[in-house]
Amino acid sequence: MRKISLICCALLSVAVLACNKTEDPNTEPEKPTPEKPTPEPEPKPEPQNSAIIVVGQEYLSDKGFYDAVMWVDGKRFAFTKGEHDSFCNAVYTYKDSVFVAATEAVGELVSDEYYGDYNENNGVVYSFKLGEEDKFKRTVYGGVKGKSTASGVAYSNGNVYVSGFDSPGFDRRALYWKNEQKFELTDGSVDALAYCVAADGDDVYVGGYIQSKDFKKEGAAVIWKNGVLQKLTGDGVLAKVNKIVIEDGHVYAAGAYRDAVNGGNWQGAIWIDGEMTLFTEKVGIEVGGLYVKDGNWIVNGNMTLEDKTISAYNWYSDGSVEALTPGADLCQGLGVTKLGDDVYSLTCTYSMDMSTYEDIYKSSLLKNKEKVEMEVHSPDNFTFWDLTIARY
């Protein structure tokens, strides 16, 4: 209404002036002064720098242990240097701060007739600033029983959130930590796993699976929001959430789904605010990564083909499917992200040296399906487990 009022006032002033002078028919009528447009808010400055961060493990044959390793733009950095078995599971960045969820064999001492004495796995997190990797802080997440791990990590409002599980008995128990405070999501009476974590403001979302109490072959895909259980699937199925992303208040969860009553293979599933979409047939699938931007998603994982080979794929929200490793006998898909228009994917190919019967694990970081050069010390035994883009 303000714009209309200004026009009316301006026309009235023209009319008053016209009454006080002789009209010249060749004189054009005065026009109201247009209202100045409200200036548009200046856009927030985009991050000027970026780094591709990959985490995983690498076998050190001279030490006899796996090393927890990170690669920043292809350059290798080891966290544990072969002191004991260790590996990185997940990575999260906030500006130039990096948080890596890992597992180290530093837990309870166990005596075994076959393996001898060894330490159980224990969840840890490494945190640091980019460029200061050698000054990383190592946090061990204790208060656990038996084997435990840190499966995922997130950061929000100054708090570090870690998902994981331990083994107080035969069945595993789903957990998460806010900073170093532990929260038990299940009591260990049925098997349960927490595979991933995401945070939005002060809300924390943990994704995983929980076994049915009455039918052990069944289990629900679940999300715990601030510790409160939300089942994404009903009875008669076996399902799980492997990855979670929060964007604009919407919760995206990717995983797998299988009919436990009538049989059949696994299908790829994505839940958006609890609504499930199956994006593959019953082919056998494992989900390794999820990326979301402006409501469009990419799921990375591996699928079993008709000839029983296993190959890595990217599935897109527009329905397209991208084969990453055609011709591979056994290859996993383990992560996906984007930088601009470029899609970065992780794969890991398994084979065996038949002369020595040693397992061979070779991972690749693919940029639009083209291999990116990475610094490795054990070219026949290294695995990439997760990746992200740091923007700062």
- pLDDT of res. 40: 64
- Which H or E run includes 18? helix 2-19
**Stretch 289-297: mean pLDDT, rounded?**
98
Least confident piece of the model among 86-95, 190-199, 352-361:
352-361
In a domain, 278, yes or no: yes
- pLDDT of res. 390: 98
In a domain, 22, yes or no: no
- CATH code, domain with 189: 2.120.10.30
- pLDDT of res. 260: 93
Q: How many domains does the chain have?
A: 1
- pLDDT of res. 96: 97
Q: Mean pLDDT score of the chain, rounded to an integer? A: 90
Give the whole-angstrom CA distance, residue 222 versus residue 194. 9
In a domain, 368, yes or no: yes
- pLDDT of res. 43: 63
Give the whole-angstrom CA distance, residue 123 versus residue 150. 4
**Stretch 18-43: mean pLDDT, rounded?**
50
Q: Torsion over CA of 22, 28, 30 and 31, rounded to 10 degrees?
A: 160
- pLDDT of res. 31: 46
- pLDDT of res. 17: 32
- pLDDT of res. 117: 87
Q: Does residue 25 have a pLDDT over 60?
A: no
Are 312 and 333 in contact by the 8 Å Cβ rule? The answer is: yes
**Stretch 299-318: mean pLDDT, rounded?**
96
Token readout for 77 is 């950095």
Q: What angle do CA 110, 114, 119 make, to 5 degrees?
A: 25
Q: Does residue 11 have a pLDDT over 60?
A: no
In a domain, 26, yes or no: no
Are 287 and 302 in contact by the 8 Å Cβ rule? The answer is: no
CA 77, 79, 82, 88 torsion-angle sign = negative
**Stretch 305-329: mean pLDDT, rounded?**
95
**Stretch 260-287: mean pLDDT, rounded?**
96
- pLDDT of res. 22: 42
What is the residue range of 285's domain? 51-391
**Stretch 206-225: mean pLDDT, rounded?**
96
**Stretch 254-275: mean pLDDT, rounded?**
96
**Stretch 218-244: mean pLDDT, rounded?**
97
In a domain, 9, yes or no: no
- pLDDT of res. 161: 98
Read off the amino acid at residue 202.
D
Read off the amino acid at residue 275.
E
- pLDDT of res. 105: 94
**Stretch 104-127: mean pLDDT, rounded?**
90
**Stretch 74-99: mean pLDDT, rounded?**
96
- pLDDT of res. 257: 97
- Identify the residue with better confidence: 61 or 7: 61
In a domain, 36, yes or no: no
Q: 145-180 burial string, b = 16+ CB within 10 Å, else e? A: ebbbbbbbbbbbeeebbbbbbbbeeebbbbbbbbee
Cβ-Cβ contacts under 8 Å for 66 (sequence gap 6 or more): 57, 58, 59, 60, 85, 86, 87
Give the whole-angstrom CA distance, residue 380 versus residue 375. 13
CB burial class (10 A; 0-12, 13-18, 19+) of residue 114?
A: exposed
Q: Does residue 222 have a pLDDT over 60?
A: yes
Kindly report the backbone phi and psi dihedral angles of residue 15, in degrees, each rounded to the nearest multiple of 5, phi listed first.
Answer: -65, -40
For residue 7, what pLDDT band results from cuts at 50, 70 and 90? very low
- Identify the residue with better confidence: 8 or 62: 62
- pLDDT of res. 15: 36
Are 360 and 350 in contact by the 8 Å Cβ rule? The answer is: yes
- Identify the residue with better confidence: 8 or 367: 367
In a domain, 205, yes or no: yes
- Identify the residue with better confidence: 107 or 288: 288
- pLDDT of res. 41: 63
DSSP code of 373?
Answer: P
Centre a 10 Å sphere on the Cβ of residue 62 and count the other Cβ atoms it contains.
8
Q: Does residue 59 have a pLDDT over 60?
A: yes
Closest listed residue to residue 151, CA positions, set 79, 208, 223, 219:
208
Closest listed residue to residue 324, CA positions, set 352, 342, 303, 297:
303
In a domain, 245, yes or no: yes
**Stretch 331-336: mean pLDDT, rounded?**
98
